[in-house]
Structures are given as C-alpha cells and as structure tokens.
A = this chain, B = another copy of it.
Amino acid sequence: MTAAPRGRGGLADEVCRRIADEIALGLLAPGTRLDEVTLAGRFAVSRTPVREALKQLATMGLVVYRRNRGALVASMTPAELDQMFEAIGELEAACARHAALRLTEPERQRLGELHAQGRLAMQAGDVERYAAVNLELHAAIIAGCHNPALIELTNGLRERVASFRRTQFRHIERIAESYAEHTAIVEAILARDVVTAYREMRSHLLAARNATSRVAPQWATPQSK
C-alpha cells in the first residue's frame, strides 16, 4: 500500500501531472534524465505508475523516450521551437477568430478585465504579475473558441513550450509591446472582427517567439551572418 488512498485518478495520473508541472515550471530542465527509480522514490510509489506516467508524457511530447535508455525531458532545437510557435500561432489565431464570434457576454467582460489587469501590471512594472495575467488572457481567448478539441490541442502545445518562454518578459520593453499587441487582439475580438483577431494573434505569437530568442540567445534561430 502506498499511503495515498486515492489522490485523484490513480497514482500514474497523479505522477504524470506532477512531473508535467515540474517540467513546465522549469524545475526539470530540458535534457534532464528521468530515472524511474529516482522518480519512484521521490513520489513514494513503485516504478509501475512512474513508467505509465512517463509513457503518457512521451505521448504528450513533454519527454522523449530512447529505447532501453530511459526518458529525458524533451529539449528543442531553435528550429523546432520556431515550428512549435508557428503551430501555436495557427491554433491560437483560430481560437481568437472563433472567440470573436462565440464569446458569451460574461466572457467578453472577463476578457476586458484581464486586459485591464495587464495594463495595471505593466504600469506597476510587475513582471511576474504581467506574466500571470498574460497566461490568463491567452487561456481565456483559447477557451473562448468553445471547441474542446481545439482547446486541448492548443493548451497541449503551450505546455510543451512553457519552459522555453518563462523568460520572455525579462526585457521590460517586451511587456509594453506585448500589451500593445494584446490591445489589438482584445479590441478585435470584442468588435467581433474575425479577420483582425486572427491576424493580430498570429503576429503576436511571432513577436513572442522573437522575444524569447532575444532574451535567451541559445534558443534563437541561427541567422545567416
């Protein structure tokens, strides 16, 4: 018996969630080896649920499996990061377009409030708070498409790049840029302007990817120089 009577949906899912969180938070850096016995010890379970969790994480793309050689936290080349951001851009832009037409009145209100909170955080120079509000704003738009399949896909992709973009607001001027882009997106959505919402969200994601490159040069796409 393993102490926990039933955390939620079985130990494997619990372990999966906790490892996923640690990866997203950057506690487990890309490339980190995920030893089964170590993890089993850390979570006070046997190897079986850990293995099942790692398999799930591999399917999600958060870890990579090398045959008979164990699991590693997924790492990405700059080119792969570009591709991830491109895919996220396509998906979030689609979400924004649908959100422009489908947002309920309470959701529209909340969108405006979140954007206002972002403005306050920006004016206060509170980087952490702006990052948190940014996350919530994007989540609100994504959820606003009212299509569970799209929502899951988009959030899944965002989770995979989460650890690579934690530093995107390190340069204070990026916050102002981000806020300006958010303004264009939010106004378009509230005006039910599907074309603008789509276009602005796509360019916003491109800008976010470039911001990540500027802050973390090791993830920048090598330019022909």
Interface size class of A (residues with CB under 8 A): 20 to 34
A36, chain B: closest CB distance, angstroms: 13
| Cβ contact within 8 Å between B149 and A86 | yes
Q: Which of A55, A58, A60, A150 is the most central at the interface, judged by chain B CB atoms within 10 Å of its CB? A: A55
A9 within 8 A of B: yes
| Cβ contact within 8 Å between A67 and B9 | yes
Output the nearest chain B residue to A89 by Cβ-Cβ distance.
Answer: B94
A221, chain B: closest CB distance, angstroms: 14
Task: Select A83's contact among B9, B87, B150, beta carbons within 8 Å.
Answer: B150
Please indicate the chain B residues that have their CB under 8 angstroms from the CB of A148 in the complex. Answer: 80, 83
Task: Select A90's contact among B48, B58, B150, beta carbons within 8 Å.
Answer: B150
Task: Select A55's contact among B52, B80, B86, beta carbons within 8 Å.
Answer: B52
| Cβ contact within 8 Å between B147 and A87 | yes
Please indicate the chain B residues that have their CB under 8 angstroms from the CB of A83 in the complex. Answer: 147-150
Mark each residue of chain A from 86 to 108: 1 if its CB lies under 8 Å from any CB of chain B, else 0. 11001100100000000000000
Please indicate the chain B residues that have their CB under 8 angstroms from the CB of A67 in the complex. Answer: 9-10
Q: Give bound CA distance, A157 to B154, whole Å.
A: 13
Q: Give bound CA distance, A90 to B150, whole Å.
A: 9
Known: A153-B153, A153-B157, A157-B153. A147 touches B86 (CB 8 A): yes
A56 within 8 A of B: yes
Q: Give bound CA distance, A98 to B50, whole Å.
A: 39
A12 within 8 A of B: yes
Output the nearest chain B residue to A86 by Cβ-Cβ distance.
Answer: B147
Q: Give bound CA distance, A58 to B157, whole Å.
A: 17
Mark each residue of chain A from 16 to 45: 1 if its CB lies under 8 Å from any CB of chain B, else 0. 000000000000000000000000000000
- A residues lining the B interface (CB < 8 Å): 9-10, 12, 48, 51-52, 55-56, 58-60, 67, 80, 83-84, 86-87, 90-91, 94, 147-150, 153, 157
8 nearest A-B residue pairs (beta carbon):
A90-B94, A59-B59, A87-B149, A83-B147, A87-B150, A56-B59, A83-B149, A52-B55
